[in-house]
Structures are given as structure tokens and as C-alpha cells.
Structure 1
Amino acid sequence: MKLFVLYFIAMMLVVGCGAGALNTASDVTEALDEHTVEECSKNDFEMIGGDSGLTCRVRTGTQYFNFIEIYTFDGNAKEACKSNEFCEPIVDAPMALESIGASLRFHDNVMILLHGDNHADLVESLISDLQNG
């Protein structure tokens, strides 16, 4: 019985400390189990009201997709982005993004922006990977 109580307390501490939470863009890259994320560098996340941000290369199989941007926010990413004067136009003009071949998706406190020739399927795959992680 004591072992069960100790196990329960340990699990509560782990959950309470946010184990598995996507607090930073680095946490997001680590959570993407089905994709290879490489060559990340810090980006200007403060300008759009983010808590963290990285620009990375994503590889699925032998193909590379350059310029994926990953941002984390405090709370709901889409709402946080909409409340920032520099980020709001990105959310409010999805057709403009599509016209330049970019795709934007949100998952909880995470925003993912992929630059390229309309790789919306890759962005959906990344979001699915986060949801399954």
C-alpha cells in the first residue's frame, strides 16, 4: 500500500510540473516523433507576442522542407496571435499565406508556419504528430 501511495504522489508531482507540456519551441521539436527536425535557430518570437520560437528544417523520409517556424504562446496560440498587432494579419489573411505557398496551423499553445509550395499536408502531419505525442 505504501508503494502505491508513493507512486501516486510521484505521478501527481510529474503531472503537476507539466510533464509533456509544450512550453517552448524546443519542446515542440522534441515531441515531433514522426518527423526529423534539424538545424534550428532562435527567431524573433517576441515581436509576435510568443514565448519562444525556432526556425528549423523538417525532413520526412528523404525530402527536406525549409523554413518551418514554430512558436509557443502563453495559452491559446491562435487567440494570443490575434491579440498581437504584428501576428494578427497572419491569422486574418490565410489566403495571402496560401498565395505565397505558406501554411499556418495551430495546436493548443503552438503555432506552426511552413514556407514552401503549399505543403499543407506536411503541416497537417506535424499537427497530427503533436496530437498523438
Structure 2
Amino acid sequence: MASPDELLSMQKEAKEIYVADCIYDYATAIVEATRDSREVRIGASPRALLALVSAAKALALLSGRSFVTPDDIKELAVPVLAHRLSMHASGSLNRDGGIQTQHAHASSVLQSILETVPCPTEDFSNK
């Protein structure tokens, strides 16, 4: 268990984690795609983008890296963004023929977005 001082120190360290422009662009494209989806009534906001990048910085720090990778963004996109989406109430069906919950529907849409938004291949480390 970390002490309050240790947590504050880790927060400061996480803010210093490097995020390459291509990673910012990738995260932005994911967030923008939520606004363009016909299944989403209200997409992720600019604050959601900031939360995604901030969480990715923390994950990079906990993984022992000084920079964010596309995999950090991918891993966190659903948990950070799904609850921030307002879905159309059309009642999407799941694979078993039942109606999906709002969160499950949002998660499914985000998974599709992650499969379609091109992942950066440039060097994203801070050399």
C-alpha cells in the first residue's frame, strides 16, 4: 500500500511521461470517431481525451516506461471512454439475441473503433 506522499510523487512522475504527437493524434482520432459513429448519440468530449492520455501516462509509468505507446491507449480506451458515451436507445442486440446494456453497447462500439482507427507506427519513444 502506498502512502499519500508516495501517491503524490507518482502523480507528479506520471505528468512527466512523454507522449509523442502521433500518440496524441491516435487518441484524438479514437475520441473523434466516437462522435462520428451513428450508434453514439453523444460522443466522448475533449475532457475524455485528456482523461485517456492521463491514464495512459500512468500506465506507462507503472509499466516502467518513460513514454506512452499505442498499446497503452488501446488498453485504456474502453475503460476510460465507454461510460462517457451516450448511446442511441435503439436497443442493440448482443450475440445471444438479448438486448445489450448501454455500457456493453458502448464497449462494443469502442472495440469496433479501435479496430478501424489506424495505429501509429512512428517512433513514439522519447529518445
Pairwise same-fold verdict (TM > 0.5): no
The structure richer in helix per residue is 2
TM-score (norm 2): 0.31
More strand by share: 1
What TM-score, normalized by structure 1, do the two folds share? 0.30
More relative contact order in 1 or in 2 (CA 8 Å, sep 6+)? 2
